[in-house]
Structures are given as C-alpha cells and as structure tokens.
Amino acid sequence: MDKTRSFLKWAGGKYNCLEVILSHLPAGKRLIEPFGGSGVIFMNANFPSFHLGESNQDLIHLFKTLQKEGESFIKYCQTYFNPEFNCKEKYYTLREEFNRMPHSPQKSAIFLYLNRHGYNGLCRYNSKGGYNVPFGLYAKPYFPQKEMHLFHQKSKQVSFHQNDFRETFALAKPGDVIYCDPPYIPILSKTKALPYTQNKFNERDQIELAELARETAARGIPVVISNHDTDFTREHYKGAAIKSFNVSRWINCQVELRLPVKELVAVFKP
C-alpha cells in the first residue's frame, strides 16, 4: 500500500504499523478518532467522512488553520524553515513567545516550527501548560510541504474539535467506527507517559476508555484501540478481539533498559 506520512513529527506515531491498524478497522460511514494525534490514520484510511478530536488545543488550531488557509499558510510556515531559525537562541525565543501568545495563524506556524526543530518529535507541556520540548540540534530540519498539501486536500472530509475523549465518544452513532490511539500505558515502571497536554492521561483514564469502548460497542458502534501489549491492557480489554504485533520502535533513553516494543490492537465488536 502507498502510505502518506503526517506533516508532523510525532512520538508514538502510527506510520510504522498502518497496515495492521487499517486492516482492523470495520467499514463505516464515518471514522471518529478521539485521540487524533498526528492525523496519520485519517490520512491513510478510506471513509466517506472523519471526525478528529484532540485535547491538545494547539494541535487542533494548527489542523484547522491548515484546513482553512491551505497554500498561503504553507508558504508562511516555510519562512521559519531557514538557517537563521535553526539555532538554540531563536528556538527558545520563539518557544517563549509561543507560550505567551493567543491562538492565531502565527502561533500555529510556530507550533509546526517547534515540532520540527524540537527534540525527537516530542510534544510535551509542563504543569502550567507551557510547551517545554528542548531544541533538537538537527542540521537541516525538513519542511513538510508535500505532506501539508496532502493534509489540506484530505481535511475537506474532516471535522476537527478540541474535546476530551469522553465528549468525542458521545458524538458517535450507528454507522460510525471509532479508532483510539491514547497515550500508551508505560511498559516499564521507570518509563513515564508523555504529557501531550497539560493534563496527563493516567491509569484511571485508561480503564475508563476500555469501559467506554465496551459500552459503545454494545450500542452497535465498533471501537478499535491501540496500546502496548501488557498484562494491564490484556486485563482491561477482556472480551475484545486482540491482535498482538511487534513494532520497529525502541523505548527508553537508557541503553540497558531498551526493549523491542510489542503492541496490540483491541477490537470491541457490536
């Protein structure tokens, strides 16, 4: 299959396991994603329409700006991708400005700049809601012009909303399919879940998501969830059809704790 990459760098992105995920999505009139992330699933899925929810308002504003403004916004974003901006001083100055400014096309462009120039595709916020990813030290950060054009074209089929996953689930109706890519349960006790927003996704949220998936499937709406393959996920996804698979991704910055990643797809059927 020809795969389309996201225009964002995204830790935990699903590009490397698209075939597995897409093959487990039932047919439907609309795909709903309560955890939209980088958008790589809707970019590669074949549904008449899509609803993409996210709790990260910076991400949703970026998506909406690109959806609305297209080429003019792409050209504006490109102005941040030249050598004068690829240094620590500029990066930290723009990051500070980003954390102070209200939502605007400029803030969305800086968000893309921070994403592509920051460390390792992280999207991380502190407890006060400040974006705090360090500078990435890349020789020449890639400007995703092609990927942004493809996103703009496909986004005409998409409704974007900043929502908690519970609110997004509440929008589902028969004929819809829900795919969930929540922040993953850590494999190791020493590994912390990434704070993609100011509010961390905790163990109680993981359990509530599984319960909501079961309840929604009972209403006739199939739900598919990706996560790490652990005793915890196996326990809470009981009753779902589970497919386990290896992913070409490594975890943990400490070499002695690095392990190959095993993930699963859990399908809650009506």
Range(s) of the chain covered by CATH 3.40.50.150: 15-55+157-268
| Three-state SS sequence of the chain | CCCCCCCCCCCCCCHHHHHHHHHCCCCCCEEEECCCCCCHHHHHCCCCEEEEEECCHHHHHHHHHHHHHCHHHHHHHHCCCCHHHCCHHHHHHHHHHHHHCCCCHHHHHHHHHHHHHEHHHCCCECCCCCECCCECCCCCCCCCHHHHHHHHHHHHHEEEEECCHHHHHCCCCCCEEEEECCCCCCCCCCCCCCCCCCCCCCHHHHHHHHHHHHHHHHCCCCEEEEEECCHHHHHHCCCCEEEEEEEEEECCCCHHHCCEEEEEEEEECC
The fold adopted by the segment(s) 15-55+157-268 is Rossmann fold (3.40.50)
Task: Please answer whether residues 174 and 26 qualify as being in contact, where contact means their C-beta atoms are separated by less than 8 angstroms.
Answer: no
For residues 214-219, give the mean pLDDT: 98
Q: Residue 100: CB partners within 8 Å, gap ≥ 6?
A: none
Give the range among 10-24, 65-79, 185-199 with minimum mean pLDDT. 185-199
Task: Find the distance separating the first CA and the last CA of the chain, reported in whole Å.
Answer: 28
Q: Poorest-confidence range of 13-17, 59-63, 157-161?
A: 13-17
Considering the chain, tell me which residue range(s) the CATH 1.10.1020.10 domain(s) occupy.
Answer: 66-147
What's the CATH code, domain 66-147?
1.10.1020.10
Please give the share of the chain, as a percent, with pLDDT higher than 70: 90
Q: Is residue 111 within 8 Å of residue 118, measured between CB atoms?
A: no
Tokens of 88: 């620590």
Find the Cα–Cα–Cα–Cα dihedral 246, 251, 254, 256, rounded to 10°. Answer: -10
Please check the confidence at residue 55 and state whether its pLDDT lies above 70.
yes
pLDDT digits (tens, 9 = 90+) for 74-84: 999 999 999 99
CA of residue 89 relative to chain centroid, distance:
28
Please give the mean pLDDT across all residues of the chain.
91
Nearest-5° angle of CA 136, CA 142, CA 147?
A: 130
268, 218 in Cβ contact below 8 A? no
The reported pLDDT for the residue numbered 237 is: 98
Q: How confident is the model at residue 259 (pLDDT cuts 50, 70, 90)?
A: low
